Structure 1
Amino acid sequence: IRTALTEANNGTLPDAEVTLSIEEGAKLAERTLNSRLGITGGLSVLGTTGIVVPFSCAAWIDSIHRGIDVARAEGLTHIAGSTGNVSEKAVQKVYDLPDTALIEMGDFVGGMLKYLRRHPVPRLTIAGGIAKMTKLGQGKLDLHSKRGQADMPALAQLAATGGAPASVTDTIAACPTVAEAFLLTTAAHIPLGTLIAQSALRTVEETLAPAPCAVDVMVFDRSGQCVGQAGPSLPQT
């Protein structure tokens, strides 16, 4: 700014007062995640374009940490980590949570849980889709497809614990996707969603230990319907 003013004033820095503003910035900020990071009343400005390049996993994980910091600073006792927009909106509606209680963890559930292990909150809800929660239940803490696919034979064994017959479990083991396997168990009246939630809950609790944090897991389909849940003091969905 000083350089630009000097150039505009024939090489001499003028005595000037400069005000920076973004037209309708406060309104535009409502479409961002700024409020969850403690930035309220306007937009944050990054460089000259507002675009962070390159996008990195480390930057996302850092934003998860800052979101937790803001929630803790506000004295919130219950936060929810979600894998995507559908599960986030659904879990917010179930628990009537403020925006600052919502942590968009995406695929980085491990990054969130390890930070919460050191900086715990009293209550945590994990919300996600069927496939990602299946992988979490199988012990994966990075849920991105590039870091590993769901183990379908293991999912078949899980379905068997819920009463699925061999004809169903054999088909599940050969299914190309978790979504297809879930449809099979739904038709056979097997509570696969609940079984997935229970297995995901075990992974979460093992990762958080010994943090004093009560946890529940909610599994949502693509329409935002809860298809499985596990943990203490669960709401009726």
Structure 2
Amino acid sequence: MSGGLRHGWTTGACATAATTAAYTALLTGSFPDPVEIVLPRGQRPAFALATEAILPGERAARAGVVKDAGDDPDVTHGALVSATVRHGEPGTGVTFRAGPGVGTVTKPGLPLEVGEPAINPVPRQMMREHVELVAAQHGGGGDVIVEISIDDGEKLALRTWNPRLGILGGLSVLGTTGIVVPYSCSAWIDSIRRGIDVARAAGHRHVAACTGSTSESVAARLYGLPDDALLDMGDFAGAVLKYLRRHPIDRLTVAGGIGKLSKLADGHLDLHSGRSQVSMEALAELAREAGGTAELAGRVLLANTALGALHLCQEAGLPLGDLVAGRAKTAAEGVLRGAPVQVDVIVIDRAGTLVGRAP
């Protein structure tokens, strides 16, 4: 457990459990329930089946598991993940297909070829290993077609990065450990990395990492960037910068509100309100450096928010937004450590008005 929060299971683990149950039934006529699987790190969870069916007309069996993401706010929590398993041609091994609600890869840059179902490499390996185990236990050949489907997956996928990554028609089957750690944010960070991969593969030389939808629309409008050059960074500035350090793109625009970018300016790489705070002392110091009076600096120090500090400085004719953008640019370049990425920063207010820029 993490901080008293309950762990859950990835879609890859659920798909593996459903595949194991369905292939067992295809060979024996009966479904194991609960069905136990072995995760990559050796844990052996058991999953209750939510659905099961022998499909004699299709020479197939289908089993379904309801995904339990534990206490993580996962978009797929409660979704039914199903596997339909059919015999394949001898010697073909395990072939994967996207059923309803599972997406198909349409853009290069992902760890799967274009045209493949969006079932990631580790879940595929887990399913292959369990097909081999079931085949060994029950005298099967191990040559099967595995079709994974997720109820309402096409609708749920609209709330994920998938459309921007070029994964169309549904969700991805994900997971490297099989376990969802509550609030680990690993899925979001992984999506940021895949977004950079897709942008690079598409030949984009300029990407914008944005803290939210308002800053994203401003960056897209300013630079004419297509959807697959826009990175939904959220609070994870560090994830963007560290990945670009290893996989550079010519130009990066960092776009966000004055509050979050004040934190980046102060050296924070996680901009979440629970994990970093705006330093009013740093903003007051910037006001002084810009020529503000001691009285103004004192008012900035007592302001409730970075936006409030911005308004005070705007009234005094001081470019606090530009100063924050400059500091944020310097902080970003420090994380990039000389990687060949040209950085610029745009700062907006809540209405989407540009209030700061560097250079």
TM-score for both structures, normalised by structure 1 = 0.84
Between the aligned partners of 1:28 and 1:140, the Cα distance in structure 2 is: 32
Mark the CA change 1:130 to 1:11 in structure 2 (over 3 Å): closer, same or farther.
closer
Between the aligned partners of 1:11 and 1:159, the Cα distance in structure 2 is: 71
Compare CA radii of gyration and give the structure with the larger one.
2
Q: Which residue of 2 aligns with 1:188?
A: 316
1:43 to 158, 161, 170: 170
Between the aligned partners of 2:233 and 2:52, the Cα distance in structure 1 is: 49
The code of the aligned residue for 2:305 comes to: T
1:150 to 258, 265, 278: 278
Between the aligned partners of 2:327 and 2:52, the Cα distance in structure 1 is: 67
Can you give the 5+ residue segments of structure 1 that lack an aligned partner in the other structure?
232-237
Q: Which residue of 2 aligns with 1:235?
A: none
Q: Which residue of 1 aligns with 2:205?
A: 77
Q: Which residue of 2 aligns with 1:107?
A: 235
Mark the CA change 1:9 to 1:54 in structure 2 (over 3 Å): closer, same or farther.
closer
Q: Which residue of 2 aligns with 1:234?
A: none
The code of the aligned residue for 1:93 comes to: R
- Alpha-carbon contact 2:205-2:250 (below 8 Å) kept: yes
Mark the CA change 1:97 to 1:27 in structure 2 (over 3 Å): closer, same or farther.
farther
Q: Counterparts of 1:164-179 in structure 2 under 5 Å? A: 164-179=292-307
Mark the CA change 1:11 to 1:103 in structure 2 (over 3 Å): closer, same or farther.
closer
- Alpha-carbon contact 1:113-1:208 (below 8 Å) kept: yes
Cα shift at 1:162: 1.4
1:206 to 329, 334, 359: 334
Can you give the 5+ residue segments of structure 2 that lack an aligned partner in the other structure?
1-18, 31-50, 61-83, 85-97, 102-150, 175-179
The code of the aligned residue for 2:304 comes to: P
Between the aligned partners of 1:229 and 1:128, the Cα distance in structure 2 is: 11
Report which stretch shifted further, 142-151 or 28-37: 28-37
1:223 matched to 2:302: no
The code of the aligned residue for 2:340 comes to: P
Secondary structure of 1:147's counterpart equals coil
- Alpha-carbon contact 1:114-1:208 (below 8 Å) kept: yes
Q: Counterparts of 1:5-20 in structure 2 under 5 Å? A: 13-16=56-59, 20=99
Between the aligned partners of 1:129 and 1:10, the Cα distance in structure 2 is: 52
The code of the aligned residue for 2:201 comes to: A
Aligned residues: 226
Task: Give 1 or 2: higher strand fraction.
Answer: 2
Cα shift at 1:27: 8.2
Secondary structure of 1:150's counterpart equals coil
- Alpha-carbon contact 1:82-1:102 (below 8 Å) kept: yes
Between the aligned partners of 1:200 and 1:191, the Cα distance in structure 2 is: 14
- Alpha-carbon contact 1:36-1:70 (below 8 Å) kept: no
2:325 to 197, 211, 218: 197
Task: Give 1 or 2: higher helix fraction.
Answer: 1
User: CA RMSD of the aligned region, Å?
Assistant: 2.8
The code of the aligned residue for 1:43 comes to: G
1:139 matched to 2:302: no
- Alpha-carbon contact 2:199-2:228 (below 8 Å) kept: yes
Between the aligned partners of 1:166 and 1:10, the Cα distance in structure 2 is: 75
* Identity rate, percent: 48
Q: Which has the higher contact order (CA 8 A, sep 6+)?
A: 1
TM-score for both structures, normalised by structure 2 = 0.57
Structure 1's consecutive aligned runs of 4 or more residues displaced over 2 angstroms after TM superposition are 1-33, 35-38, 52-56
Between the aligned partners of 1:199 and 1:11, the Cα distance in structure 2 is: 63
Between the aligned partners of 1:119 and 1:85, the Cα distance in structure 2 is: 25
1:21 matched to 2:100: yes
Mark the CA change 1:216 to 1:10 in structure 2 (over 3 Å): closer, same or farther.
closer
- Alpha-carbon contact 2:154-2:171 (below 8 Å) kept: no
- Alpha-carbon contact 2:156-2:171 (below 8 Å) kept: no
Secondary structure of 2:338's counterpart equals coil
